[in-house]
Amino acid sequence: MTLSSDLSTVLHVYNALKFHELVDDDLPLLADIDRYFEKSKCIWNGWDKPEQGKFVYRLHLSMGATNEMAMYAQDRAAGEKPAKKPTYSHAKIERTRQTSKRVSTTIDPAEVSLSYRRYCQHDFKVTNKMLEEGRQHQGLDLHKPLTIDPKDPFPIPWQIHEARTRLLFPSILDDFDSRLLIYNMVAVGTVLSQFLYDTFHPDSNEHVAKYEAKLRASGASDVRGDLRSFVNCGISDAILASLDYDPDPERFQYLGEAFEEFFYSLDLDRVCIFEGLDL
């Protein structure tokens, strides 16, 4: 699986469990990751996080499904029998992903990091929101002109560099204060994969074992030949369907406990860029 698919699976299930108050909403690492990506189109489709009745629909959108495919999955989760299963192709899904404002299967770092937007995309705009927060923004006087003064004794390229540096530096501080820069995202990806493997492993769950055997017999795999992505997505789909419509969501208390046990016992030095950092 990719980091984005692992991340989407974990965060969608975590969100549904939090909605039903079945898990702590401030788990080490996961609470930070949840906050970082709350505006990511890849995870949440540009909307607020889903509430009960939309868990399945939004998971499928985050996996790159078209609106028709996601609605079909939600209707099936509700116990309805849609008249016709929507047809699709990888080409159609890719076209939808490229043109839709809601469907994306890749994480855009610009959605997460202001310093990335400044440095890599040369976005040096000062927003009204920043101005409304006060004259000083992390030590930057936002009312000091950021325009070029031809009469200034400094050469124009130096003026441009100075103005952009004054905007870039506080954005780096903002990212650090938000705890974004303290984590190695590659290591985070391995932790999420481990959590899914440990939680959805067929050796410890007979239902998962039966589901995996069924997929294996059908020859299912993703484009990289990985069966686990289908297993994780299928299981998450079934869990979210129950949390959407099951009158007794309390039966998933064990899953909330699995989240808590894993992330509370996680050695954060595995994912922190600076070892021994006090979190």
Say what the pLDDT of residue 261 is: 95
Q: To 10 degrees, what angle do helices 253-264 and 185-199 make?
A: 140
pLDDT digits (tens, 9 = 90+) for 16-41: 999 999 999 999 999 999 988 888 87
In this structure, the answer to whether residues 104 and 189 fall within a common structural domain is: yes
What is the arithmetic mean of pLDDT over 49-57?
A: 94
What is the arithmetic mean of pLDDT over 174-188?
A: 80
Closest CA relative to residue 236, chosen from 25, 33, 7, 69: 7
In this structure, the answer to whether residues 144 and 204 fall within a common structural domain is: no
| Beta partners for residue 141, in sequence order | 136
Residue 97 in this model has a pLDDT that exceeds 70: no
What is the arithmetic mean of pLDDT over 51-57?
A: 94
In this structure, the answer to whether residues 25 and 88 fall within a common structural domain is: yes
Q: How many domains are there within the chain?
A: 2
In a domain, 279, yes or no: no
pLDDT digits (tens, 9 = 90+) for 162-171: 777 777 777 7
In a domain, 49, yes or no: yes
In a domain, 43, yes or no: yes
Helix H or strand E segment including 42: helix 41-44
Q: Which two tokens stand for residue 51?
A: 């509430």
pLDDT digits (tens, 9 = 90+) for 141-160: 544 545 666 777 767 677 77
Residue 230 in this model has a pLDDT that exceeds 90: no
* Global pTM value: 0.75
Between 35 and 277, whose confidence is greater? 35
Share of the chain above pLDDT 90, in %: 22
In this structure, the answer to whether residues 135 and 222 fall within a common structural domain is: no
In this structure, the answer to whether residues 82 and 196 fall within a common structural domain is: yes
In this structure, the answer to whether residues 10 and 136 fall within a common structural domain is: no
- Per-residue burial over 30-59, b if 16 or more Cβ lie within 10 Å, else e, is bbbbbebbeebbbbbbbeebbeeebbbbbb
Between 57 and 203, whose confidence is greater? 57
In this structure, the answer to whether residues 71 and 162 fall within a common structural domain is: no
> Distance between terminal CA atoms of the chain?
28
In this structure, the answer to whether residues 75 and 199 fall within a common structural domain is: yes
**What distance in Å separates the CA atoms of residue 188 and residue 7, rounded to the nearest whole number?**
9
Range of the domain at 215: 3-108+185-270
In a domain, 198, yes or no: yes
